């Protein structure tokens, strides 16, 4: 049945008796359900398709009332199994979009379980959860392209890039953090034989032209900025560390310099993301996220989405949950439970 699958579908497109088509599809569905494998072999470049995908498509055909509509669905099914419809910014086959149910397309992200596999670990205070770069890299890059992460930290982006077959450059101000991260990532296998480059320096002034020339590349296809959330976590004593900014103005100026250094190296029409949260201090909610968003907009990028993601409850916060609830009730504010992922496109 398996390898003949496409031939059977092609044959059915030419039939004109609706009952006959339905019967053949019902038989096909029974055969698919009986198959012990989760995937059905197609014997073409797609190799296989999930049982779930086929079952849904065939059920849609079986429920259709007119011959015209039935044929339309059969043709669509055939197309999805034989043709690739790709966009310029990722490897998703839009003819099979229904199969990507793990790719988030809503602007509210509720991610509860951190991926702790392999080199990923929650140990680096202030790192983001791997699902963030995973989702973004799959949406905004193709295999073999180059990703820039100017705030490397524990290297979550680079780990995901390596797993997904994307090359990446990570810049980190702290030499110590950089070395630890490099060592940690080296524990992971590199199944797609991609390149990872670790650069120690200030992202506002690292010479990216030189980095590109060493790597023999011309530009990047995606940038992810995950800066310190101003002074919420102090990462080092280094003056160039954005977490040491004395005021919000200084923080935004510093972040702006990083943007000025990076944006020229992103290809036109390609995407970039900023991950950041707001801040509450001295009885005031400081819209850090929106200020940062403005900095990117000022530099001519187009805002494509504002994603709100639930905030991982840290152990410290969890222990103080009651206290924060009391403070919120008494102080007329709400306890932080979210951060932002802003998506931009370069004109």
Q: Which residues bind ligand SAM (CB under 6 A)?
A: 124, 126-128, 150-151, 153-154, 156, 171-174, 177, 202-204, 226-228, 235-236, 240-243
- Residue 146 beta carbon to ligand SAM: minimum distance, rounded to whole angstroms: 17
Nearer to ligand SAM, 57 or 254 (CB): 254
Q: How far is it, in rounded angstroms, from Cα 101 to Cα 203? A: 35
- Residue 287 beta carbon to ligand SAM: minimum distance, rounded to whole angstroms: 18
Give the angle 276-282-285 at the CA atoms, nearest 5°: 40
Nearer to ligand SAM, 43 or 126 (CB): 126
- Residue 227 beta carbon to ligand SAM: minimum distance, rounded to whole angstroms: 6
Nearer to ligand SAM, 126 or 287 (CB): 126
Do 338 and 276 form a contact (C-beta atoms < 8 A)?
A: no
Closest residue to ligand SAM using C-beta atoms: 153
Please list, residue by residue across 155-166, b when 16 or more beta carbons sit within 10 angstroms of its beta carbon and e when fewer do.
bbbbbbbbbbbb
Q: How far is it, in rounded angstroms, from Cα 315 to Cα 42? A: 49
- Residue 275 beta carbon to ligand SAM: minimum distance, rounded to whole angstroms: 7
- Residue 150 beta carbon to ligand SAM: minimum distance, rounded to whole angstroms: 6
Nearer to ligand SAM, 251 or 344 (CB): 251
- Residue 202 beta carbon to ligand SAM: minimum distance, rounded to whole angstroms: 4
- Residue 132 beta carbon to ligand SAM: minimum distance, rounded to whole angstroms: 8
Q: How far is it, in rounded angstroms, from Cα 257 to Cα 271? A: 19
- Residue 292 beta carbon to ligand SAM: minimum distance, rounded to whole angstroms: 12
Collapsed DSSP state (helix, strand, coil) of residue 49: strand
Nearer to ligand SAM, 64 or 157 (CB): 157
Q: What is the DSSP string of 240-287?
A: TSGGG-SSHHHHHHHHHHHHHHHGGGEEEEEEEEEEE--EEETTEEE-
Collapsed DSSP state (helix, strand, coil) of residue 54: helix
Nearer to ligand SAM, 58 or 133 (CB): 133
Nearer to ligand SAM, 53 or 235 (CB): 235
Pairing of strands 48-50, 167-172: unpaired
Pairing of strands 48-50, 39-41: antiparallel
Do 341 and 273 form a contact (C-beta atoms < 8 A)?
A: yes
- Indicate the angle between helix axes 5-13 and 67-82, nearest 10 degrees: 150
Q: Which of 114, 164, 97 is nearest to 137 (CA)?
A: 164
- For residue 268, CA distances in Å to 68, 116, 219 come to 43, 34, 10
Nearer to ligand SAM, 95 or 245 (CB): 245
Nearer to ligand SAM, 194 or 242 (CB): 242
Collapsed DSSP state (helix, strand, coil) of residue 76: helix
- Residue 19 beta carbon to ligand SAM: minimum distance, rounded to whole angstroms: 58
């Amino acid at each position: 049945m398996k390898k003949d699958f496409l031939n059977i579908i092609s044959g059915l497109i030419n039939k004109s008796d609706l009952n006959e088509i339905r019967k053949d599809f019902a038989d096909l569905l029974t055969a698919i359900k009986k198959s012990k494998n989760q995937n059905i072999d197609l014997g073409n470049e797609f190799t296989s398709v999930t049982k779930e995908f086929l079952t849904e498509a065939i059920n849609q055909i079986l429920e259709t009332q007119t011959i015209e509509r039935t044929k339309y669905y059969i043709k669509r099914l055939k197309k999805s199994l034989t043709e690739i419809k790709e966009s310029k910014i990722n490897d998703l086959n839009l003819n099979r979009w229904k199969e990507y149910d793990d790719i988030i397309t809503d602007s509210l992200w509720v991610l509860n379980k951190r991926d702790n596999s392999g080199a990923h670990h929650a140990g680096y205070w202030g790192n983001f959860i791997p699902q963030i770069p995973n989702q973004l890299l799959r949406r905004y890059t193709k295999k073999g392209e180059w990703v820039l992460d100017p705030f490397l930290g524990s290297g979550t982006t680079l780990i995901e890039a390596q797993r997904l077959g994307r090359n990446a450059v990570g810049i980190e101000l702290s030499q110590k953090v950089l070395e630890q991260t490099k060592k940690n990532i080296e524990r992971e296998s590199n199944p797609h034989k991609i390149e990872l480059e670790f650069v120690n320096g200030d992202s506002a002034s690292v010479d990216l032209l030189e980095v590109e020339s060493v790597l023999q590349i011309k530009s990047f296809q995606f940038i992810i900025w995950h800066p310190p959330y101003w002074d919420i976590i102090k990462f080092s004593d280094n003056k160039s560390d954005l977490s040491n900014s004395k005021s919000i103005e200084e923080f935004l100026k510093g972040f702006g310099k990083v943007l000025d250094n990076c944006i020229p190296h992103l290809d036109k029409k390609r995407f970039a993301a900023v991950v950041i949260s707001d801040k509450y201090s001295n009885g005031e909610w400081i819209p850090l996220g929106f200020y940062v968003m403005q900095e990117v907009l000022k530099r001519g990028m187009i805002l494509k989405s504002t994603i709100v993601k639930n905030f991982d409850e840290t152990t410290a916060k969890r222990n103080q949950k009651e206290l924060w609830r009391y403070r919120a009730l008494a102080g007329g504010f709400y306890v932080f439970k979210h951060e932002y992922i802003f998506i931009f496109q370069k004109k």
